Amino acid sequence: MSAGRNLGLATIGIAAILVAPAARAQGVAAVVAAQQQRVESLDASVSGRLVLVDGSGKRVSYKCSIREHGFPDGVRFFEEVDAPQPVRVQVHLERDGRVTARLAHKGSTGKWLPGDYATANPSDALVGSGFSLEDLVDNQFFWKEQAIMGHQACGSRTCDVLQSTPASTDRSQYAKVVSSTDEKTKAVLHVIKTERGSGASKDMTYFDLHQSHGVYGATQIEVKVSGKAGSTLFIIDRGTAKAGLKRGDFDLASPTLEDPGQQNGDN
């Protein structure tokens, strides 16, 4: 893999299969455990572009950088987007699957000030894109209700198709999430999310699977929302899946974010 072409960590027709209850339960446990382990072991730092595509194909692109790391109290996600009003997002996926988020906007002095912090709703859109703050973490794998819906071909790969349903206590904008994950690499390849109430669907496709430090992930994610023209792309240009991140790397008030390509870029 060449420098600057690295891993993004990120996150279908359903073919039902008939299996014995014990085999189905074992399959569910194994698939869910593998995905939880993948998310909790994250240590990624990447940079790239958030691209908003309208119905006519016109594109607006913003630079962005992302950090993800699993800590004892859960997984933390940090993103900075160089939009017209630059924004930083901190999302915390707790061990019980609960998601909380905070935002910070750059003040008139150009500094990220504690006074700019605001508690955010995880269902809020990120810079007007198809991504909500909740979409930044794979919290569906931590919900209690999980079911294997089948196994099917995803291009040249074979996928486990997992349906995740939030409990009444789970704070989520979705009624269910169907995830297709590669049986061998455990990478997420395709996700369909159904919103509560409206029933609108969000289709997330993961492209260009790469390996970095033994971890597999996509370098591009496309999101399409039913009933809305256009799409949103998250394109990763460079980064590493072994960044050696610390708690301080997720401080919303830090003066700058180091270029991940200068930390521990893959070659």
Check pLDDT > 70 for residue 2: no
What is the rounded CA–CA span in Å between residue 36 and residue 141? 6
Q: Which structural domains are found in the chain, ordered by start?
A: 21-240 (2.50.20.10)
For 74, the token pair is 């859960």
For residue range 172-221, what is the model confidence (pLDDT) as tens digits? 999 999 999 999 999 999 999 999 999 999 999 999 887 777 777 888 99
User: Do residues 2 and 237 touch, judged by C-beta distance below 8 A?
Assistant: no
Report the number of secondary-structure helices (H) and strands (E) in the chain: 2, 13
Beta strands in 126-200 (DSSP E): 145-154, 157-165, 174-182, 188-195
Q: What pTM does this model have?
A: 0.83
Check pLDDT > 90 for residue 245: yes
Closest to 256 in 3D by CA, of 42, 47, 10, 9: 47
pLDDT at 27: 87
For residue range 73-113, what is the model confidence (pLDDT) as tens digits? 999 999 999 988 889 999 999 987 889 999 998 877 777 77
Tally Cβ neighbours within 10 Å of residue 186. Answer: 16
Helix (H, G, I), strand (E, B) or coil at 40: helix
Helix (H, G, I), strand (E, B) or coil at 264: helix
For residue range 193-205, what is the model confidence (pLDDT) as tens digits? 999 999 999 999 9
- Given pLDDT bands bounded at 50, 70 and 90, which one contains residue 3? very low
What is the rounded CA–CA span in Å between residue 87 and residue 125? 12
- Given pLDDT bands bounded at 50, 70 and 90, which one contains residue 10? very low
Binning the chain into helix, strand and coil, the percentages to the nearest 5 are 15, 45, 40
Mean pLDDT value across the chain: 83
Tally Cβ neighbours within 10 Å of residue 146. Answer: 19
Report CA-CA distances (Å) from 219 to 58, 67, 96, 138, 216. Answer: 22, 14, 28, 16, 10
Which residues are paired to 119 by β-bridges? Answer: 102
Percent of the chain, pLDDT > 90? 60
More confident residue, 115 or 22: 115
- Cα Dmax for the chain: 63
User: Do residues 76 and 68 touch, judged by C-beta distance below 8 A?
Assistant: yes
